[in-house]
A and B are shown apart, each in its own frame.
Chain A
Amino acid sequence: MNIAVERLPDCKAKLNIEIPSDIVEKERSGLVAAYTAQAKLPGYRPGKIPKAVIEKKFKNQITEELEDRLMRQAWGEADKQEKLGILGISSVESKTFEADGSFAIAAEVITQPEVALPDYSDIPVEVPKIVVTDEQLDNVFERMQQNFATFEVVEGRALKAGDIAVVEYEGSTDGAPLVDTLDEANAQLGSSEEYWIKIPAEGEDATFLPGFGEQLEGLEVGAEKDVELTLSDDFQIEALAGKTVVYKTKVKEVKEQVVPPLDDAFAEKIEPGKNIEEVRASIKEQMEAEQTNQRQEVITSQILSHLTGMAEFEVPEHIIFNETQRQVNEMVQRGYQQGMGEEQIAENQQAILDSAEGRAKSSVKATFLLEKIGEKEGLIVSDDEVSQQVMMMAAQQQRPIKKVARELRDKNAFPEIRHDILISKVLEFLKGNATITEVDPPAPEKAEEASEEPSEETAEA
């Protein structure tokens, strides 16, 4: 096999390969034999079709497959001989069968970047100290109290902020009942026999239509009032946007929110068999565990950014492009899940693209680096580890292991799993060798952001 390599910038190489006629002929006769064994033609018993007939009848398929096989052979040979580390074929410029029976290919391939490893033995990492303040704990308890709050009927008192008004109402606009214009899903807006409306305290959001609750303040049980509201122009029901609606409202009951006191009875509700002090301690423990988890992610992200910052090398554009595509898809998917509309996504298209590209670049780079480190440190993924991983996956999906394994094999996913395990092993190794210093935790909001980023990075790696 004649192989001529011309290295190009940007992790590409140009290959000119000539496969001699004897190899071509051997492959071809093998293919014809395979077709003879398989093909079925009327008039012939299976396996008894003359070669000449097969070669004519399946000429196109045979040629195609022959080209395919020869090219694959050529890539393998070129990879081995020239140590290119071919990652993919970017384009095949020409492929021809010459008159003397040999096969000539000219192609451009993407090669592994030459990674110059930075010093990775002692990566400095700063992590926030694990601190759970009393204030944070108090917040948690307050939220729980709200969740366990009960509403009790109060007699002989007017509605005030923070109360719940149980009302019956009937809405109309321009004299016509609202029920007529609303469909079934929104019938609640038109009229109701019994509806709970919270009178919003200062700074609280309205639970029903904005402005409704405020107008009820000061009413007593049995009082009636026409509540007049002007709906905003971008109200979600188009027919009503910008209109003025009148609700004939009658207060049926006044309820007051009663927050349970922080005592042992309350503790019993949260965790049976414990008093309030013990519950407090266990919640504190939970929060600390959460922070410890987050810390792992912070460490990972810091190690990755340190590595990618230190190492400078070319990364094949093709791969970045693919990764960018994947990132964009993922982000759009996430956007939909968070309830973004198609329009919103279209608006943010450029921003999504930009951030996806940035992420793709660093994650591709990180992957190459981690692979290289794994190679240098001689980290190997054993078959046992792969099968353990498969078992875990099966357990998570609650399906039989055999089935999951077969599916993975069909999808050819094992190399990928192996790769993932290797990457996580390398990360573990790096974490073990990093110097970790504790610093005071940043402002709480920042901590949340920081913890979100790395989880994505690890997933990509």
Chain B
Amino acid sequence: MKDLFQVIDTIQLSEKATILTETENVYVFKVDQRANKLEIRQAVEKLFSKKVTAVRTANYQGKKKRERRADFGRTKKWKKAFVKLAEGETIEFV
């Protein structure tokens, strides 16, 4: 991916993510499907100016959605990234 600004889609705020942040200093993002771990690391380091120690990713299939018809469509598939920051580093969301 050429543009670092397009890597991170949004921050995933949820109960699970909050627990991860509190216990592991891991922050959860929704990222572009095409981005790899290296690019995500670079993006977070550049955009938030924080030191990243580890990145893990997971691909999610879109959920089945029916709209009054027998056959179903799907919501968009997406990639989730777990970014572990160096000790003492935090990102202020909200």
- Tally chain A residues at the interface, Cβ within 8 Å: 10
Interface string of A50-67 (1 = CB under 8 A from B): 100100110000000000
Beta-carbon nearest neighbor of B19 in chain A:
A50
Q: Cβ of B17: which chain A residues have Cβ within 8 Å of it?
A: 43
Asked if residues A43 and B13 are in contact (CB atoms below 8 Å), the reply is yes
How far is B15's CA from A57's CA once the two chains are assembled, in angstroms? 15
Nearest CB in chain B: distance from A334 CB, A: 56
How far is B18's CA from A50's CA once the two chains are assembled, in angstroms? 8
Nearest CB in chain B: distance from A193 CB, A: 69
Q: Does B47 contact A (CB under 8 A)?
A: no
| Dominant secondary structure of chain A at its interface with chain B | loop
Asked if residues A43 and B14 are in contact (CB atoms below 8 Å), the reply is yes
Nearest CB in chain B: distance from A255 CB, A: 79
Q: Does A157 contact B (CB under 8 A)?
A: no
Nearest CB in chain A: distance from B93 CB, A: 8
Q: How many A-B residue pairs have CB under 8 A?
A: 20
Asked if residues B15 and A44 are in contact (CB atoms below 8 Å), the reply is yes
Asked if residues B94 and A48 are in contact (CB atoms below 8 Å), the reply is no
Q: Cβ of B14: which chain A residues have Cβ within 8 Å of it?
A: 43-44
How far is B15's CA from A41's CA once the two chains are assembled, in angstroms? 10
Nearest CB in chain B: distance from A336 CB, A: 54
Q: Cβ of A43: which chain B residues have Cβ within 8 Å of it?
A: 12-15, 17
Interface string of B1-37 (1 = CB under 8 A from A): 0000000000011110110000000000000000000
Q: Cβ of A50: which chain B residues have Cβ within 8 Å of it?
A: 18
Q: Does A406 contact B (CB under 8 A)?
A: no
Asked if residues B12 and A53 are in contact (CB atoms below 8 Å), the reply is no
Q: Cβ of B13: which chain A residues have Cβ within 8 Å of it?
A: 41-44, 53
User: A41-B13, A43-B12, A43-B13 are known contacts. Are A56 and B94 too (CB-CB below 8 A)?
Assistant: yes
List, sorted by A's number, 7 A–B pairs whose CB atoms are closer than 8 Å: A41-B13, A43-B14, A43-B15, A44-B13, A44-B14, A53-B18, A56-B94
Other contacts beyond A43-B12, A43-B17, A44-B13: 17, CB < 8 A:
A41-B13, A42-B13, A43-B13, A43-B14, A43-B15, A44-B14, A44-B15, A44-B18, A45-B15, A48-B15, A50-B18, A53-B13, A53-B18, A53-B94, A56-B93, A56-B94, A57-B94
Question: 6 closest Cβ contacts across the A-B interface?
Answer: A43-B14, A56-B94, A43-B13, A44-B15, A50-B18, A57-B94
Which residues of A does B touch, CB under 8 Å? Answer: 41-45, 48, 50, 53, 56-57
